[in-house]
Structure 1
Amino acid sequence: MDDLAQDELDEITRRINDTPLKVLGWLTPSEAWDEQMERLAAKGTLVPGHPVQSTPTHNPRQCCTSN
């Protein structure tokens, strides 16, 4: 790959990420990534590159270490 220019590598990456895959239910990798980021953001999980979500308040009744 050392002989490929950056624009050629970018085009290969774009084509891969925009190709629907059966393993992803015929979503493209880009679409699957976006859906997963949305799910994480909806849970309040911090996602790099996405707006900061407020963290849920700790609930001792739901904590796996509480008795």
Structure 2
Amino acid sequence: MLLDEITKDALGLHAVFLNDALITLGIKDGNVLAKLHPHLQDTTELLTSFNTVRPGQHTAGSGP
């Protein structure tokens, strides 16, 4: 469901595997995505807020 949220943010579409994921998890509540949306959105924002090191960048103590 988190990957679906990321796919929606990036492409504006639901992930093609979403229904399979819901079936696998045994989720029958059709409103579960609406209920979880704020939490999934918070999680994606948290994940994207982490500082990442890009090629050629150095972090403190990692060299020149």
TM-score bracket for this pair, using the shorter chain length: 0.3 to 0.5
Structure richer in helix, relative to its length: 2
Structure possessing the higher radius of gyration over alpha carbons: 1
TM-score (ref. length: structure 2) = 0.34
